[in-house]
Amino acid sequence: MEGINTDEVIEEFEALTKDAGMVQRETLERILEENGSAEYLQNLGLNGRTDPESFKSCVPLVTHKDLEAYIYRIADGDPSPILTGKPIPNMSLSSGTTQGRRKLVPFNDELMENTLQIYRTSFAFRNREFPLEKGKSLQFVYSSTPGKTKGGLGAGTATTNLFRNSKYKNGMKAIQFQCCSPDEVIFGPDFHQSLYCHLLCGLLFREEIQFVFSTFAHSIVLAFRTFEQVWQELCDDIRDGELSSRVTAPSVRMAMSKLLKPSPELADLIYKKCSGLSNWYGLIPELFPNAKYIYGIMTGSMEPYLKKLRHYAGELPLMSADYGTSEGWIAANVNPKLPPELATFAVLPNIGYFEFIPLNNDAERLYMDPKPVGLTEVKIGEDYEIIVTTFAGLYRYRLGDVVRVAGFHNSTPELKFVCRRNLILSINIDKNTEKDLQLSVEEAGKLLAEEKLEIIDFSSLVDLSTDPGHYVIFLEITGEPSEEVLKECCDCLDRSFVDAGYVSSRKVKAIGPLELRVVWRGTFQKILEHYLGLGTVVSQFKTPRCVGPMNSKVQQILCNNVAKTYFSTAF
Ligand code: AMP
Q: Is residue 365's pLDDT more than 60? A: no
| Angstrom distance (rounded) from CA 218 to CA 309 | 9
Q: What distance lies between CA 141 and its chain's CA centroid? A: 13
Is the CB of 389 within 6 Å of ligand 1?
Answer: no
CA 323–ligand 1 middle distance (angstroms): 6
Instruction: Check residue 536 and give its pLDDT.
Output: 79
Average pLDDT in the 426-441 region?
89
Closest ligand 1 atom, residue 158 Cα = 4
Q: Which residue has the higher pLDDT, 532 or 396?
A: 396
How large is the average pLDDT for residues 418-425?
Answer: 80
Q: Is the CB of 325 under 6 A from ligand 1?
A: yes
Rounded to an integer, the average pLDDT of 74-88 is 95
Closest residue to atom 13 of ligand 1, CA basis: 325
When pLDDT is averaged across residues 472-478 and rounded to a whole number, the result is 97
Return the axis-axis angle of helices 483-496 and 434-450, rounded to nearest 10°. 150
Nearest protein Cα to ligand 1, atom 5: 325
How many Cα atoms within 13 Å fall on the side-chain side of residue 304?
28
Percent of the chain whose predicted confidence (pLDDT) is above 70:
96
Ligand 1 center to 110 CA (angstroms): 19
How many CA atoms does the CB half-sphere of 537 hold within 13 Å? 27
φ and ψ at residue 7, rounded to 5 degrees:
-60, -40
Ligand 1 contacts CB of residue 540 (under 6 A) = yes
Task: Tell me the average pLDDT across 115-144.
Answer: 92
Q: Which atom of ligand 1 is nearest to the CA of 302?
A: 21
95 close to ligand 1 (CB < 6 Angstrom)? yes
Supply the angle between the helices 264-276 and 191-204 in degrees, to the nearest 10: 100
CA distance 109 to 84: 12
**How far is Cα 176 from Cα 454, in angstroms, rounded to an integer?**
35
DSSP H stretches of helix in 76-138:
109-129
Question: From CA 55, how far away is CA 41, in angstroms rounded?
Answer: 10
**Residue of 118, 295, 401 best suited for mutating to test ligand 1, as the one with most atoms within 8 Å of CB:** 401
Distance of CA 203 to the CA centre of its chain: 26
Å from CA of 45 to ligand 1 middle: 33
Closest residue by CA, ligand 1 atom 8: 325
Predicted pLDDT at 421: 79
- Find the range with the poorest average confidence among 92-101, 428-437, 515-524, 532-541: 92-101
Q: Where are the alpha helices (DSSP H) in 339-403?
A: 362-365
Percent of the chain with pLDDT over 90: 76
* φ, ψ dihedrals at 232, nearest 5°: -70, -35
Given this model, what pLDDT does residue 562 score? 97
Residue-wise pLDDT for 274-324, tens only, equals 999 999 999 999 999 999 999 999 998 899 999 999 999 999 999 999 999
Largest CA distance in the chain: 72
Give yes or no for residue 94 CB within 6 A of ligand 1: yes
Ligand 1 mean position, distance from CA 325 (Å)? 5
Indicate if the pLDDT at residue 496 is higher than 80: yes
Q: What pLDDT is attached to residue 97?
A: 61
pLDDT score, position 493: 98
Whether the pLDDT of residue 100 is over 60: the answer is no
First-residue to last-residue Cα distance in the chain: 61
**Is the CB of 399 within 6 Å of ligand 1?**
yes
Q: Report residue 387: phi and psi, to 5°.
A: -120, 135
Q: Is the pLDDT of residue 1 over 50?
A: no
Question: Is the CB of 177 inside a 6 Å radius of any atom of ligand 1?
Answer: no
Closest ligand 1 atom number to CA of residue 399? 10
Counting from 1 in the atom list of ligand 1, the atom nearest the Cα of 297 is 19
Say yes or no to pLDDT of 65 above 50.
Answer: yes
Tell me what pLDDT residue 35 has: 96
Dist CA 9 CA 16 (whole Å)? 10
Asked if residue 225 lies in contact with residue 550, where contact means CB atoms within 8 angstroms, the answer is no
CB 292 near ligand 1, within 6 Å: no
Q: Can you give the pLDDT at residue 508?
A: 85
Q: Taking the model in full, what pTM does it have?
A: 0.86
**C-beta 401 within 6 A of ligand 1:** yes
CA of 216 to the centre of ligand 1 (A): 9
Q: Do the beta carbons of residue 390 and residue 352 sit within 8 Å?
A: yes
Given a cut of 90, whether residue 344 has pLDDT beyond it is yes
Specify the range with the lowest mean pLDDT, choosing from 122-126, 421-425, 517-521: 421-425
Ligand 1: which atom is nearest the Cα of residue 322? 19
Kindly give the distance from the C-alpha atom of residue 462 to the centroid of ligand 1, in angstroms, as a whole number. Answer: 24
Would the pLDDT of 367 be above 70?
no
Residue nearest to atom 18 of ligand 1 (CA): 323
Distance CA 385, CA 359 (A): 7
Backbone angles phi, psi at 312, to 5 degrees: -70, -30
Q: Nearest C-alpha to atom 7 of ligand 1 is from which residue?
A: 325
pLDDT greater than 80 at residue 161: no
Angle at which helices 6-18 and 109-129 cross, to 10°: 110
Mean pLDDT computed over every residue of the chain: 92
Question: 493 by DSSP, 3-state: which?
Answer: helix
Task: Tell which atom from ligand 1 comes closest to the C-alpha of 419.
Answer: 12
Strands 328-332 and 147-148, by their bridges, are: unpaired
Average pLDDT for residues 498-526, to the nearest whole number?
Answer: 93
Distance 374 CA to ligand 1 centre (A): 21
Q: What is the pLDDT of residue 171?
A: 75
- Per-residue burial over 212-230, b if 16 or more Cβ lie within 10 Å, else e, is bbbbbbbbbbbbbebbeeb
Structural contact between residues 316 and 285, judged by C-beta atoms closer than 8 angstroms: yes
Distance 98 CA to ligand 1 centre (A): 10
